Amino acid sequence: MLIAYVNGKAVGCASFKEYSVNTAEIKRVYVDIAFRRLGIAKQLMKKLETTASAKGYGRLILQTREACAEAVALYESIGYRCIDNYEPYVNTPLAVCYEKIL
């Protein structure tokens, strides 16, 4: 779990958990609305990628929704590609899943 601070105030967070032997799932990426568009989410994602790779994961996956346009734009801008929905999101029509090979 990562927490981003600005002047001692927690303004964002992100984490990942093991999904399978080679794959980690990114969870809970969030930046306070007053601190968005400052690159904080991108920094959190890069740190997650570095940490996951160091722990031996070769692939990251995540789930979001098309309605979360800013999140979709972020993920696509840093190299994530849309994939078929994975479990447990296979039958969740509003879910959109992404992956990145590390």
Q: What is the pLDDT, as a whole number, of residue 97?
A: 97
Strands (DSSP E) along the chain, which ranges?
2-6, 9-18, 23-31, 59-65, 81-83, 95-101
**Domain spanning 2-101 has what CATH number?**
3.40.630.30
pLDDT digits (tens), the chain, 102 positions? 999 999 999 999 999 999 999 999 999 999 999 999 999 999 999 999 999 999 999 999 999 998 889 999 999 999 999 999 999 999 998 999 999 999
Domain residue extents for the chain: 2-101
Which pTM value belongs to this model? Answer: 0.92
The pLDDT of residue 12: 97
Q: Is cis: bond before 93, omega within 30 of 0?
A: no
Per-residue pLDDT, 66: 87
Measure the CA dihedral 2/4/7/9, to 10°. -80
